[in-house]
Amino acid sequence: MRKKTTYACQACGHQSARWLGRCPGCGQWNTMVEERTEAPVKTVRGLSGSGPVPVTDIVTTSEERYPTGLSELDRVLGGGVVPGSLVLVGGDPGIGKSTLLLQVAAALAARIGKVLYVSGEESAQQIKMRAERIGALHSHLLLMSETDMSGIEKVIQESKPSAVILDSIQTVYYPEVSSAPGSVAQVRECTAILMRLAKGTGIPVFVVGHVTKEGTLAGPRVLEHMVDTVLYFEGERHQAYRILRTVKNRFGSTNELGIFEMRGQGLVEILNPSELFMNQRPEAVPGSAIIPSLEGSRPLLVEIQALVCPTAFGTPRRMTSGLDYNRVALIMAVLERRVGLRLSNYDAYVSAVGGVKLDEPAADLAVALAIASSFKERPLQNHLVLVGEVGLTGEIRPVSGMDKRLHEAAKLGFKLCIGPARERQSLDIIEYSGVQSIQEAVEAAMGR
């Protein structure tokens, strides 16, 4: 067969007949890689094999789930592992993805039978050493070091395990695809094979995926569309805490959050993260504010810290950690225009403590009050939490899940909440002060 040469973007999967310096699909530079196809790519068969059926005639069954032995992971998955599901786990190198999945493999082996752990990065001896260290030893846990996808497929069909874990998708290759492991064609084909196995046999499959420098999953975007669930394992390498976040879940809600602590014996669940984050909070210090955040169904109290100081250069510096930079810049513009804080000649550094990443608008008010507190060198009231979205005109907008947020705040001893005025009549969990504008919020939290 005549060889066919194409160039595929390693970021988005766009294909071109010739090499291009910039991908026309995603705009990334130097991502086009040559791929040669000598044989037609194996066509993935249909998952059902039957014709169209009226939706009213389809018989549904109750959804069965397997507990993983880690309640935080079960929360993120929506209640446990669904048979036949394909779960993608991504994260930075060394963050603990392999450790997490090895603990899950041992727990599933003890509950549902044989679990096949396939590694394309480590030998079976290296995996055994980690398993001994974290106590993940079980006779039903089968280890295999292999990168040939056809060999892995054959072993799965012959051994019929109850679950499969592949570490990682970028290290395996399918022989009928001539491109290198980790390329767009290889990742797409290997994932399609795993998807067919999972749906056809009912075996849940966990797949580890590498991430890019920007923190997104490496490979084509179609990888995330093919799987049922996408989990991100986040955290700072110099901190012991790890956050498992779901961004896609066909069997549960998205934006769920699980928190772990990395120890010598493996990952340990943090069942009350709010109390953990509040233990080391300084009292009566300017620039500190508390937000009762809501991650999926879990309320989480997070401290926002801000430091505002005169700039030594012509252009003031802005830095954020765990918060959206553009959102913080917008809030600072509202503070300057609507409250009269002259921040244009001051540097501002804003951070969410504990390695947590906040992207919900409900954190706007806490960010604004932390910046105002640091600028005025006046601490906020004790036992105070802040929640609300800040608009461009300075108004405070309502947010969802207020009951859950205030229940969590009251449980940890907070006495007062400042938030949107529209919630004033319906909430009596703790003392509630409703405000309509950012100016009222600053006066209520610090006084005139």
Binding site for ATP: residue ranges?
91-98
> Do the Cβ atoms of 6 and 16 come closer than 8 Å?
yes
> Do the Cβ atoms of 282 and 151 come closer than 8 Å?
no
Q: Which residues define the annotated binding site? A: 91-98
Which pair of structure tokens corresponds to residue 275?
């109390």
Q: How far is CA 310 from CA 317, 318, 334, in A?
A: 10, 12, 19
Which pair of structure tokens corresponds to residue 193?
């094979």
For 20, other C-beta atoms within 10 Å of its C-beta total 16
The widest CA-to-CA distance across the chain, in whole angstroms, is 81
Q: Tell me the HSE value of 313 on the side-chain side, using a 13 A CA sphere.
A: 6
Which residues, other chains included, contact 250 with Cβ-Cβ below 8 Å and sequence gap of 6+?
85, 228, 229
What's the alpha-carbon Rg for the chain, to the nearest Å?
25
